[in-house]
Chains A and B, each alone.
Chain A
Amino acid sequence: MEVKIIEKDNVLTAQLNGRLDTAVSPEVSSALQPLIDNADKTLVLDCKDLSYISSSGLRIFLTVRKAAAAKGGKVVVKDINTEIRQVFMMTGFLNLFEIQES
């Protein structure tokens, strides 16, 4: 699992690459700390190369989303694959996140 954070025009984009399972969630959580720290800006979770997510990954997404709501920022989830979209649907995450396709 790789996480890369790019800041451009006041927008923070986190590119997530690989499988976000319980084993890697602690390191992903700390890698995404810059997003929490800048939760007043626009945050993009780029999931183009994210192949799998478990509930521990969903928790991280929700934590980011809550931080943004508290500080007045915005979260966009980009390019989730069909399988992950299904998990989002099942868990009601489709209603909590702004989802974008590029």
Chain B
Amino acid sequence: MELNKHRSELSTMLMGVLLVVVAIVTLGVTSLVQYVHTRNILMEEAERRAQDNIDHVEAEFTLVVDLVESALRNNVWSASVLVSYPDSLWAFTRGIVVDNPFIYGSSMAMVPGYHRKEQFKVFAPYAHREEDSVVSVQLGTEEYDYASQEWFAEGVKAGEKGHWSEPYFDEGGGNKLMTTYSVPVHDHRGRVAAVLTADVALDWVSDRLGRLEDYPFALKMLVSETGQIMASSPQYESLRRKNIMEVADEMENAEEFKEVNRGMLAGEEGSAPVHLQGKLYYVYYDKVQKTGWSMSITIPVEEIYGDLRKLNLQVGALQTLGVLMLILILVVTIRNLRKMADINAKKNRMDSELHVANTLQMAMLPKDFPPFPERNDIDIFARVVPAREVGGDLYDFFIRDERLYFCIGDVSGKGVPASLIMSVTRSLFRTVAGHEKSPVRIVSSMNQNLVEMNVNDMFVTFFCGVLDMQTGHLRYCNAGHNAPVLLDKDQSAPLSVIPNLPLGILPSMNFEEQEIDMTSGAGLFLYTDGLTEAENQALELFGEERMMKVLQPDQTATVMVERMTEAVQSFVGEAPQSDDLTMLHFRYLNDTPMEKTERHLILHNDIQQIPQLAEFVETVGSLAHLGSAMAMSLNLALEEAVTNVIMYAYPPGADGLVDIEAIIRKDELQFIISDSGTPFDPTAAPDADVTLDLEDRPIGGLGIFLVRNIMDKVHYQRTDGKNILTMSKNLL
């Protein structure tokens, strides 16, 4: 008897230890999976941001370079005439500076001895800005032999393309970092008679680099062909004018850094990890077209992973707490067991352990209500009533950029695996919805991730919506979940949903998105099947009919969820609750919505989807009360723009999406077409010449021409790794 008791205590202890070990291992594995996944996302994000920032600054910089080059080239012809009238060069150089705000100074330096007259033998009038005025001086003095300066000597030899000088510090004129562009000027006999120059200040590039919204401690710089640092983000001001190779030489163990520098000086683009003074950095670099200069962004890895570390600490703390609680409960249970020595106790213990795991999971869901006390345009409440056995229900919501992102989901199956998948799903939602605003993209990306995790035939029914708080426009995507109920003053009915398939089943599932406009006071009630399939002792189901009877549009979200809970509990009575029951209810309360209507269409990059555009334009056209002629030309413009994306944005064979957003205002109709393909600016293409004869007329090139002619405004931008083409048409 005594022996038996000892044995049972021993096995209980063993079980306990085993459980703790299993719990620690499972928690460790999930957090490792999550860690690696988030790390990769952050790394990709860093690379994308760096590339975008480089592209942005490069585009601005190239624009200035182009402007300066064309400003001088436009003046070379006048200059070639004026070489014979040196007196006129004062006014000429002054004119160049006055006319071109981005040119800091300009000079026309005669080849020494070109003129025989003593006063013009060494003659270089130079006009430059000084505070608000333009001042002229003569550079050719005894102390300053301009003929031996780089800008002159290289300018004479440069030919038509001209020459960009190494950056230098202009001691006289406001201590600015400058570069000079020089072109030779030929006289009517074809001899080089002078060099025409334009000085460009580079300090704005540094300012611009400092204003880039990314990693505050990243080093951003513009480097010349020989490695001189011409501009850098302000906190690295001390580096300016130094040479990157010299900077590297001053450091110990800087081989990787030197390797990157050599690549950059060779005009290559790329990225590489670099260890410097015991820290790890990522360097991204790219060539600035035309000038032979390069730009680079160096980000400390700890900054890239900054948030991750914080998150890890939090998750770690939570997990440790969980394990401690588990141990505590085990100890208490073992003590109880000793007293009771009862088989039933074993079952109780199992239950309470599972409940600890469940409590931990539930702690992750938002549960402080009201969640947005500062807002009066949203009333939201949610609750999970967990079953005796752990399940896998989840909900989540947050507001980003004046949009409410919300979701509800139910993982198939029960027990610890289901609750693990639930927490993975929830963190996927947070990660993806943090940067996507289209529900179908959120759902597709989550599906892809869950399929890749390949979790033994488990799947998740899921519903995700994005509500524009300013307009009441709701976009949503369903993945095999119960249709939520739309509560309106006039009538309450299940929302029309396309079922699609649950998450985690088909990798290539093409989810479809839907949209409606919510009026002020309208509400949406989301639930899991734990509600409608709640069973009483007579094995009857609660059902949708009973649920619809409880729902009332004019009640607050909290009252509605409370009443539903009471109703289902009194129906079920003493019968055990078999499944988690989750409800999320919100009401949209905005009496002064913005006067605009939105419609969306998402296409795959398949030309066979083009006919869907016609239907889309028809819908938009009737909402905006357009005539058939106008609708047809808009259809044409849209087809041309979208065809462009379908044909050229993604590599052949790769699957990609095209987002089309229509915004209808009283006075204007706007289409925003976006894709995440390779950067491409269709507006940069030259216009087709429609006056050409038949023989000279090229077969193609009409697409963008039609877009430009039909629409009133066409604008391209590249943001967050997306091509965004905005086209608008005035309706008044």
Which A residues have a C-beta under 8 Å from some C-beta of B? 19, 21-23, 52, 54-56, 58-59, 62-63, 65-66, 69, 82-83, 86-87, 90-92, 96
B635: interface (CB < 8 Å):
yes
**Is the Cβ of B706 less than 8 Å from the Cβ of A55?**
yes
A91 touching B705 by the CB < 8 A rule? yes
Contact B643 A54 (CB under 8 A): yes
Q: Which residues of A contact B709 (CB under 8 A)?
A: 90
> A65: which B residues are within 8 A, CB to CB?
694
Of B628, B694, B705, which is in contact with the most chain A CB atoms at under 10 Å from its CB?
B694
Identity of the chain B residue whose Cβ is nearest the Cβ of A65 in the assembled complex: B694
A22-B607, A55-B700, A92-B691 known; 19 other A-B pairs, CB under 8 Å?
A: A54-B636, A55-B640, A55-B643, A55-B706, A56-B643, A58-B702, A65-B694, A83-B629, A83-B632, A83-B633, A87-B706, A90-B690, A90-B709, A90-B710, A91-B688, A91-B702, A91-B705, A96-B694, A96-B697
Are B694 and A22 in touch, CB under 8 angstroms? no
Q: How large is the interface on B (under 10, 10 to 19, 20 to 34, 35 or more residues)?
A: 20 to 34
Partner of A23 from B607, B629, B636, B703 at Cβ < 8 Å: B607
A55 engages B703 (CB within 8 Å): yes
Nearest B residue to A1 by beta-carbon distance? B611
A58 to B632 alpha-carbon distance, docked (Å): 15
Residues of A contacting B691 in the complex (Cβ-Cβ under 8 angstroms): 92
By beta carbon, the residue of chain B nearest A63 is B699
- Report B-chain residues with C-beta under 8 Å of the C-beta of A19: 611, 614
Q: Compute how far the CA of A87 lies from the CA of B688 in the bound complex, rounded to whole angstroms.
A: 14
- Asked whether any CB of chain A lies closer than 8 Å to the CB of B133, the reply is no
Sorted from nearest, which 3 A-B pairs have the closest CB atoms? A92-B690, A23-B610, A55-B702
CB < 8 Å A-B pair total: 66
A59 CA to B608 CA, complexed, in Å: 18
A99 to B83, CA, bound (A): 58
Within the complex, the shortest CB–CB distance from A54 to chain B, in Å, comes to 5
Do A86 and B633 have beta carbons less than 8 Å apart?
yes
* B697 surroundings in chain A (CB, below 8 A): 62, 96
> What is the distance, in angstroms, from B627's C-beta to the closest C-beta of chain A?
10
Closest residue of chain A to B710 (Cβ to Cβ) is A90
Closest Cβ neighbor of B709 among chain A residues: A90
Complex alpha-carbon distance, A54 and B707, angstroms: 11
Q: How far is the CB of B238 from chain A (nearest CB, A)?
A: 55
Output the nearest chain B residue to A96 by Cβ-Cβ distance.
B694
A19 to B631, CA, bound (A): 14
B610 to chain A, nearest CB (A): 4
Residues B706 and A52 in contact, CB atoms below 8 Å apart: no
B545 within 8 A of A: no
Q: Determine how close the nearest CB of chain B comes to the CB of A17; give it in whole angstroms.
A: 15
B residues less than 8 Å from A91 (CB atoms): 688, 690, 702, 705-706
Q: How far is the CA of A52 from the CA of B629 in the complex (A)?
A: 10
Measured in the bound complex, the distance between the Cα atoms of B703 and A22 in whole Å is 11
Given contacts A21-B610, A58-B702, A90-B706, contact A66 B636 (CB under 8 A): no
A sample of 21 cross-chain residue pairs with beta-carbon separation below 8 angstroms, ordered by A number, consists of A19-B614, A21-B611, A23-B607, A23-B610, A52-B636, A54-B636, A55-B700, A55-B702, A55-B703, A58-B702, A62-B697, A65-B694, A66-B694, A66-B699, A87-B633, A87-B636, A87-B706, A90-B706, A90-B710, A92-B690, A92-B692
Complex: chain B residue closest to A23, CB-CB: B610
A96 to chain B: which residues have CB within 8 Å?
Answer: 694, 697
A19-B614, A23-B608, A96-B697 known; A52 and B705 CB under 8 Å? no
Residues from chain B with Cβ under 8 Å of A83 in the complex: 628-629, 632-633
**A86–B690 Cα gap in the complex (Å)?**
14
User: CB within 8 Å of A: which of B677-714?
Assistant: 688, 690-692, 694-695, 697, 699-700, 702-703, 705-706, 709-710
Instruction: Say yes or no: is B639 at the interface (Cβ < 8 Å to chain A).
Output: yes
